[in-house]
Structure 1
Amino acid sequence: MNWDFQFNLPTTIEFGSGKVKLVGEQVKKYGNKVLIVTDKGLAQTGILEKVTNSLKKENIDYYVFDEVKPNPRDVDCQKAYEQFKDKKIEVLIGLGGGSSMDTAKAIGTLMTHDGNLSERYGADKLEREITPLICIPTTAGTGSEVTSFSVITDTKLKDKMLIFDLNLAPKIALVDPELTLSLPPSITAATGMDALTHAIEAYVCNMAEPISDALALHAIELIVNSLPEAVENGNNIEARQNMLIGSLIAGLAFGNTDLGGVHAMAEPLGGLYDTPHGVANAIFLPFVFEFNIKANPAKFAIVAKKLGVSEEYKTEEQIALKGVHLLKELSSRIGIPKFSDLNYVNPKDFEFLAEGAENNICTIANPRNITKKDYLELFQLAYEYKGMDVHV
């Protein structure tokens, strides 16, 4: 194969227990006036205090915007911009899960580009770098601390919109496993499945390349072997560390390639119903995985082996199909609900959701050609799923 690709590493990664204490030192590289972007739940924990204590130690002025919501909204990004645009903010800190980090990226975009956020939807729409950003993840899920993406819910369109530009990349990722110890099991499960989806889709998508493949495969192995323990025993620091590394390197993988049909389905679902992104990914992952197998049975068989499938199955397709079973089994074990368990979901909306999925940018990179009709069938198939029924 004649490879031709680009791989970007614009973010400096500081990984290890206690790294959060370095935030004050890191901020001073870029300025002395900070806006911390987080959510109200996290603001009430000791994690925010760890950050502010480090800033105080370095005599750094700071403000806190704690109105981030899951599936972050354009109106909240705009609100933060209007509230702080005259404060001469020099550095942003995204503290929390992907929602906080994506919101910080969007706020940084507005601070350096002004105007309406919707003008920046799409790829390469920024003329300059955003306000220097330091990301501190408190979940092992999105990998947003090392990506050049920001996914924001447009409240008028009722859909998730993507801003993709290297100018969005955080300057520094402070990745501290201790910050994830207090994460509840349900959030650990959902964010962990988000990270697993990133790794799998990065590996099988039609934009994959050798570096992303290596990262994605290692991420799959780390996540599959650590996620159940992290859910069932949240104080296991080794499991938490492995999940955070898995999430981070999955972010590096898909941040340099793309995703696929799982995200194309999950994002309109989140835009319409506000479904947690990790839950949506986990629900659709086995069904899209099975749909895509025929595009590249060899690659899907490799993923299935990383998931734990043995060599007893004779063909690559059989191995890959057994992987579908293990994905469903994993979701069930860690408490991910089935699609039909989400009592707010109305099958009458599937047409709208399928159209949104077909138009989603991730559809382009799906390894198998996928249409609105296919998405409609996949939404219905996932909704009708009642238990372990994979055809092997």
Structure 2
Amino acid sequence: MNFPNTFHFILPTEIRYGKGIIHELPAVLKATSARSVMLITDTAIRRQPFCQEIINQLKNGGIEVHLFDGVEANPKDHNVEEAARLATDLHVEALIALGGGSPIDCAKAVGVVASHGGAARTYENRNLIVKPTLPLYTIPTTAGTGSEVTFSSVITDSRERFKFTIKSPAIAPKIAFIDPTYTHSMPAGLTAATGLDALTHAIEAFTAKVATPLSDAAALYAIERINSNLKQAVFEGDNAQAREAMMTGSLLAGIAFSHSDVASVHCIAEALGGKYDAPHGVCNAIALPVVMEYNLAFAAERYARVAKAMGFHFATEQEGAEMAVRRVQQLAKEIGLPEFRSLGVRPEDLDELAEHATRNGSNRDNPRPMEKSDYLCLLKTLMNQK
């Protein structure tokens, strides 16, 4: 694979990692003169004891906290716009996102709409983000999306049922406070889905046409960490070592794909998520092995290196590439991820799904050139799986 002659690497987000690291947040806010914040999360996280503990720490530190817990899975444009109106009306000075990818992606978009006005989808055109956005601090509670350090936000257009992306370094979180103990409360199914989501990020970042040496380094180590620890994290939820490995793997995968790209797995997953509101991590996990197999002839050298990161030994690139595909298939089964048919996809929707996948901005970076007919082929393959 030939790297581009030029590339950029920017990581605007400071990372603070460790058990109890959230204790530093009130002092950080005070140092920036922020006295009023909006905590953006969802109802499931709102019920977790650590959510109230974080709110109490902020209040005890002299910070006024306004709670918005209306983020839906696959955050919608109206979630963003409602939270942005509240943030504007309340004159908050900073945003805190607590949760998985949905609250964090929502909060990034809220920062843009609150400072610029208008509809969320307007800022699919990154050139329209011309002013500073509300400063954002992230606290991830899943080991999956890596969104705590990326500068992209995926939002669902609720009328078109189409996922669009807002991407700009201007929306990057200021600081990510990463405490792997927050993931210990994740149930096995969510751990499995988010873990395969992180693996998808790493593999697609490594095989995308715009990969760079720096994104490769993060992606390969992420693959190593996730492959070696995902099963333990799923079946031994209180295994602190496995949870920490998954959190660092997810973090590295986020750094990798934000400095490379994702590809056709995400094109399919985002089409499915937009149409059926299906869980993003599950959609990625279901599509990953099928897309890898479809890409095999165009990415054998890269997939062989994925297999090497997974600990396999082999005689030829082709053998290694096939090992990587089989390992992903095996891992998805071992951790009990659902089948494609569980998403309720209707045969009459396949053409629309293929069209949406083709329109996805990451389609151009898949190692195999993909047209609508290719996505139809893949979707039919998934529909026919036993």
The TM-score normalised by the length of structure 2 is 0.97
CA contact (8 A) 2:85 2:114 kept: no
Structure 2 counterpart SS, 1:215: helix
Q: Within 2, Cα distance between the matches of 1:158 and 1:137?
A: 26
Which residues in structure 2 correspond to 1:330-349 (within 5 Å)? 330-342=331-343, 344-349=344-349
Counterpart in 2 of 1:10?
A: 12
Shift of 1:82: 2.1
Q: Within 2, Cα distance between the matches of 1:291 and 1:170?
A: 35
Does residue 328 (structure 1) correspond to residue 329 (structure 2)? The answer is: yes
Q: Within 2, Cα distance between the matches of 1:124 and 1:216?
A: 29
Deviations along 1:142-179, one digit per CA (max 9) or x if unpaired, are 11110000100000110111000110000000000111
Deviations along 1:288-344, one digit per CA (max 9) or x if unpaired, are 111112123111111122234332xx33122211221111110011111111233x2
CA contact (8 A) 1:293 1:320 kept: yes
CA contact (8 A) 1:40 1:66 kept: yes
Q: Of 235, 238, 258, which aligns to 1:232?
A: 235
Q: Which amino acid aligns with 2:27?
A: E
Q: Within 2, Cα distance between the matches of 1:122 and 1:375?
A: 25
Counterpart in 2 of 1:56?
A: 59
CA contact (8 A) 1:222 1:243 kept: yes
Shift of 1:24: 1.2
Residues 322/6 of structure 1: CA separation in 2 closer, same or farther (3 Å cut):
same
Percentage identity across aligned positions?
A: 43
Deviations along 1:15-37, one digit per CA (max 9) or x if unpaired, are 01111222212222331110000
CA contact (8 A) 1:123 1:164 kept: yes
Which residues in structure 2 correspond to 1:1-392 (within 5 Å)? 3-30=5-32, 31-311=34-314, 314-342=315-343, 344-386=344-386
218-227 or 124-133, which deviates more: 124-133
- Is there any run of 5+ residues in structure 1 with no aligned partner, and where? 387-392
Shift of 1:104: 0.6
Q: Within 2, Cα distance between the matches of 1:273 and 1:16?
A: 36
Q: Which amino acid aligns with 2:20?
A: G
- Is there any run of 5+ residues in structure 2 with no aligned partner, and where? none
CA contact (8 A) 2:208 2:366 kept: yes
Q: Within 2, Cα distance between the matches of 1:282 and 1:124?
A: 33
The TM-score normalised by the length of structure 1 is 0.95
Structure 2 counterpart SS, 1:370: coil
Counterpart in 2 of 1:389?
A: none
Structure 2 counterpart SS, 1:9: coil
RMSD: 1.2
Q: Which amino acid aligns with 1:372?
A: K
Shift of 1:281: 0.2
Shift of 1:129: 2.6
Shift of 1:115: 1.1
Q: Work out the number of aligned pairs and report it.
A: 383
Structure 2 counterpart SS, 1:335: coil
374-383 or 169-178, which deviates more: 374-383
Q: Within 1, Cα distance between the matches of 2:62 and 2:297?
A: 58
Counterpart in 2 of 1:390?
A: none
Shift of 1:3: 3.6
Residues 340/167 of structure 1: CA separation in 2 closer, same or farther (3 Å cut):
same
Q: Within 2, Cα distance between the matches of 1:305 and 1:384?
A: 31
CA contact (8 A) 1:122 1:162 kept: no
Q: Within 2, Cα distance between the matches of 1:220 and 1:301?
A: 13
Q: Within 1, Cα distance between the matches of 2:144 and 2:353?
A: 24
329-338 or 76-85, which deviates more: 76-85
Shift of 1:125: 3.2
Shift of 1:197: 0.3
Deviations along 1:166-203, one digit per CA (max 9) or x if unpaired, are 10000000000111110010010111111000000000
Structure 2 counterpart SS, 1:111: helix
Deviations along 1:74-122, one digit per CA (max 9) or x if unpaired, are 1111111223312111010000000000111111111110111121114
Q: Within 1, Cα distance between the matches of 2:273 and 2:256?
A: 23
